[in-house]
Amino acid sequence: MRNILTIMRREFKAYFVSPVAYVILASVLFILGLFFYGMVEAYSRYSLQLAGNPMYAGQINLHDFVIRGFYSTFGFIMLFVAPIVSMRVLAEEKRQGTAEMLLTSPVTTSQLVVGKYLGALSFGLFLILITLQYPLFLLFMGARPELPALLAAYVGSVLLLGALLAVGLFSSSLTSSQIVAAVIAFVLSLFLWVIGFLGEIVGQGSEYSDLLKALSINEHFEEFLKGVVDTGAVVFFLTFIAFMLFMTQRVVDSSRWR
Amino acid sequence: MIEVDRLSKSFGGRPAVKDVSFHVAKGEILGFLGPNGAGKTTTMRILTCYLPATSGTARVAGFDVFEQSMEVRRRVGYLPENPPLYDEMTVRSYLDFVARIKGVAARQVKARIDAVAVKCGLTEVLPRVVGHLSRGFRQRVGLAQALINDPPVLILDEPTIGLDPAQIVEIRQVIKGLAGDHTVIFSTHILPEVTATCSHVIIINYGQAVVAGPLSELAAGEKGAQKLHLQVARDGSAVSDALATLSGVRSVARDGARPGAYRLTVDASPEQRERVAGLVVQSGWGLLELTPVTPSLEDIYLRLTGGAGAQEEQAA
């Protein structure tokens, strides 16, 4: 446990000594800010227009109009950001030779992998924590987002980012080049993302469609945005993360017996 | 302390280490010699549990490197060929991290960092960022990293590479200072370094241990024989003939192109040297010099690693 925490702490700190963390934070916040502004602006314009019309007034709500779209956008951006956040974790260790030190230290491969993952995840959580400013802004402006639904969106975002970072960690274990790691992570994540669309194309109701959709991280993520914390989706993400960590552990360990 | 028994390692069918056996007793410093690509690093990586052996066994401090890897890792300090440093960290935070993952108790971490910093001459660079340090300091941080948990066994892969002469002497002093309490293996291809630091030597070539033993035994060379360097004032064709027929003289050869210089291989005894000197004086050749030649490690190394061609070139 102590080893895991030591590795995690070093990993987390390492983000903030390189410009990468700041570039990521700044660009994510810039893009999210634009979307947030656009959505809130559109929402207030519509509400104003529809205020006089009792027929539609009940149909427009803050969650569907702003929160859902906003966190959906957030998830989409994470598809690009997570590979960049996680590309360094193991690839760089191999490139600069520190892997040799870590793997000859009295630390098990599992501790190393979990520590590295938690390090990347804590940076992800930090990023998610910053996005809290948007719903807080809504609260301060007097709007009342539905808090349980908002919470569900956050649970979903954390799980989604956790899954994407696990894919990134796995990719990072495959190579000693950060760029290659990022590309592999992105391709894998994108595949898992669009596999749901493929399900739609294959045809509603067919078994393949259900299977493909069940594998899609996007489909599961959307559940949370509807305000539903589905146990199935939670289990899906947790199993997915555990599987990715297991695969990473095998890859790192294989460098010993190859 | 370290027992290596018929250790072999191949990478995809290409053997890197073949049947290497040696052992190092507690407190010894073993010099690990060999040309580049001879299998030094591979052997060290097996001993530090970084790579598994294809066959054979290695035990460090009584623990098998494969079966009881964690126990071995706790007891080995390893400095790889490229010091394993995080460029973005300060020296202090780096050593702090390594100390913790190597299991130094939290409240001893600071004391250990200060102790190794003094030992490796890092005290004034502790607050600096590793990436900004010179090659020499990086190497020392690497050494400090290996020493941080005060392991009984140290495995150092070319610890003095990239250092300036003054630093090399310092690092050698550090390594020598470790002998006794620590068992040290270090690899190098700088031969004087071995003569200066080690008590024992193993020479490895093409993955095979060519020779192993205490440095003093290796230096003796051919059993019961001794090499002499002879310089006479008045050279003549009679000299070498007369020397060759002297009893106890095994061979006579001219030593280089200088007139009157000879290299003799004789039975190793003081009387034999006396007989040679006597002959030279009686014959009136004018004895200028008669010195026993101890083969340098270079000679042994070149002879054993098949660098004989190189040796003759040097002699010529």
Q: Which residues, at least 6 apart from B105, have a Cβ–Cβ distance to it below 8 Å? A: none
Cα A94 to Cα A54: distance, rounded to the nearest angstrom:
64
Task: Count Cβ atoms within 10 A of the Cβ of residue A215 and give its class: 0-12 exposed, 13-18 middle, 19 or more buried.
Answer: middle
State the complex-level ipTM.
Answer: 0.86
pLDDT at B4: 87
Q: Which residues, at least 6 apart from A254, have a Cβ–Cβ distance to it below 8 Å? A: none
Place of tokens 């930090």: A126
Mean per-residue pLDDT of chain B: 82
The mean pLDDT of B42-47, rounded to a whole number, is 89
Place of tokens 């400013």: A133
Q: Which one has a higher pLDDT value, A65 or B105?
A: B105
pLDDT at B295: 65
Cα A96 to Cα B85: distance, rounded to the nearest angstrom:
7
Place of tokens 């993360």: A241
- B88/A107 touch (CB, cutoff 8 Å), yes or no: no
| Contact of A112 with A169, CB cutoff 8 Å | no
**Is pLDDT at B297 greater than 50 in this prediction?**
yes
Q: For B124, which DSSP code?
A: G
Quick one: pLDDT band at residue B306, thresholds 50, 70, 90? low
| Contact of B22 with B202, CB cutoff 8 Å | yes
Task: Count Cβ atoms within 10 A of the Cβ of residue A23 and give its class: 0-12 exposed, 13-18 middle, 19 or more buried.
Answer: exposed
Cα B147 to Cα B133: distance, rounded to the nearest angstrom:
19
The mean pLDDT of B176-181, rounded to a whole number, is 80
| Contact of B117 with B123, CB cutoff 8 Å | yes
Cα B293 to Cα B295: distance, rounded to the nearest angstrom:
6
| Lowest-confidence region among A49-53, B42-46, B166-170 | A49-53
**Stretch 135-164 of chain B: residues touching chain A, C-beta under 8 Å:** 145
- Which of helix, strand or coil describes residue A219? helix
**Residue in A101, A84, A87, A115 with CA at minimum distance from that of residue A10:** A115
Q: Identify the residue among A3, A22, A105 best suited for mutation to test binding to B, counting B beta carbons within 10 A and taking the highest.
A: A105
Q: For B128, which DSSP code?
A: S
A8 part of contact set with chain B, CB < 8 Å:
no
Residue A17 is encoded by which pair of tokens? 């000594």
The mean pLDDT of A204-221, rounded to a whole number, is 82
pLDDT at A121: 96
CB atoms within 10 A of CB A241: 20
**Is pLDDT at B222 greater than 70 in this prediction?**
no
Distances (CA, A) of A201 to A35, A79, A198, A208, A214: 29, 22, 5, 10, 14
pLDDT at B281: 87
- In Å, how far is A147's CA from the nearest CA of chain B? 41
A1 part of contact set with chain B, CB < 8 Å:
no
Q: Which chain A residue's Cα is nearest to B53?
A: A257
pLDDT at B315: 41
pLDDT at B311: 40
The mean pLDDT of A94-120, rounded to a whole number, is 92
| Lowest-confidence region among A71-75, A137-141, A209-213, B109-113 | A209-213
pLDDT digits (tens, 9 = 90+) for A167-210: 999 999 999 999 999 999 999 999 999 888 887 787 766 777 88
The mean pLDDT of A157-170, rounded to a whole number, is 96
**Is pLDDT at B314 greater than 90 in this prediction?**
no
pLDDT digits (tens, 9 = 90+) for B96-106: 999 999 989 98
**Residue in B4, B148, B160, B155 with CA at minimum distance from that of residue B76:** B155
Distances (CA, A) of A217 to A205, A234, A247: 19, 11, 18
Quick one: pLDDT band at residue B216, thresholds 50, 70, 90? low
A108 part of contact set with chain B, CB < 8 Å:
yes
**Stretch 64-93 of chain B: residues touching chain A, C-beta under 8 Å:** 70, 73-74, 76, 78, 80, 82-89, 93
pLDDT digits (tens, 9 = 90+) for A36-52: 999 988 888 888 887 77
- A105/B98 touch (CB, cutoff 8 Å), yes or no: yes
Q: Which residues, at least 6 apart from A106, have a Cβ–Cβ distance to it below 8 Å? A: B70, B73, B74, B101, B102, B103
The mean pLDDT of B37-58, rounded to a whole number, is 87
Chain B environment of A103 (Cβ under 8 Å): 49-50
- Which of helix, strand or coil describes residue B187? strand
A104 part of contact set with chain B, CB < 8 Å:
yes
pLDDT at A58: 66
The mean pLDDT of B151-159, rounded to a whole number, is 89
Cα A250 to Cα A244: distance, rounded to the nearest angstrom:
10
| Percentage of chain B lying above the pLDDT 70 cut | 91
**Is pLDDT at A116 greater than 80 in this prediction?**
yes
Residue A4 is encoded by which pair of tokens? 């895991």
Residue A128 is encoded by which pair of tokens? 């998610």
User: Using alpha carbons only, how large is chain B's radius of gyration in Å?
Assistant: 24
**Is pLDDT at B221 greater than 60 in this prediction?**
no
Residue B46 is encoded by which pair of tokens? 């097996």
User: Using alpha carbons only, how large is chain A's radius of gyration in Å?
Assistant: 20
Q: Which residues, at least 6 apart from B190, have a Cβ–Cβ distance to it below 8 Å? A: B160
Q: Which one has a higher pLDDT value, A35 or B177?
A: A35
Determine what percent of chain B falls in helix, strand and coil, rounding each to the nearest 5: 40, 30, 30
CB atoms within 10 A of CB A173: 26
Quick one: pLDDT band at residue A257, thresholds 50, 70, 90? low
The mean pLDDT of A230-258, rounded to a whole number, is 90
β partners of residue B203? B33, B211
A20 part of contact set with chain B, CB < 8 Å:
no
**Is pLDDT at A163 greater than 70 in this prediction?**
yes
Give the dihedral sign, CA A164/A169/A170/A176.
positive
**Residue in A184, A152, A165 with CA at minimum distance from that of residue A121:** A165
Q: Which residues, at least 6 apart from B122, have a Cβ–Cβ distance to it below 8 Å? A: B91, B116, B137, B140, B141, B144
Mean per-residue pLDDT of chain A: 89
Chain A environment of B54 (Cβ under 8 Å): none
pLDDT digits (tens, 9 = 90+) for B246-266: 888 888 888 777 788 888 888
pLDDT digits (tens, 9 = 90+) for B70-122: 899 999 999 998 899 999 899 999 999 999 999 899 899 999 999 999 888 88
Quick one: pLDDT band at residue B243, thresholds 50, 70, 90? confident
**Residue in B207, B209, B202, B155 with CA at minimum distance from that of residue B45:** B155
pLDDT at B218: 65
User: How far does Cα B128 stand from its chain's mean position?
Assistant: 32
**Is pLDDT at B282 greater than 80 in this prediction?**
yes
- In Å, how far is A115's CA from the nearest CA of chain B? 11
Distances (CA, A) of A61 to A40, A44, A56: 11, 10, 10
A14 part of contact set with chain B, CB < 8 Å:
yes
| Contact of B187 with B157, CB cutoff 8 Å | yes
What does residue B90 show for φ and ψ, rounded to 5 degrees?
-80, 160
The mean pLDDT of B223-236, rounded to a whole number, is 78
pLDDT at B312: 41
Quick one: pLDDT band at residue B224, thresholds 50, 70, 90? low
- DSSP H or E segment with residue B4: strand B2-11
Quick one: pLDDT band at residue A17, thresholds 50, 70, 90? confident
pLDDT at A113: 95
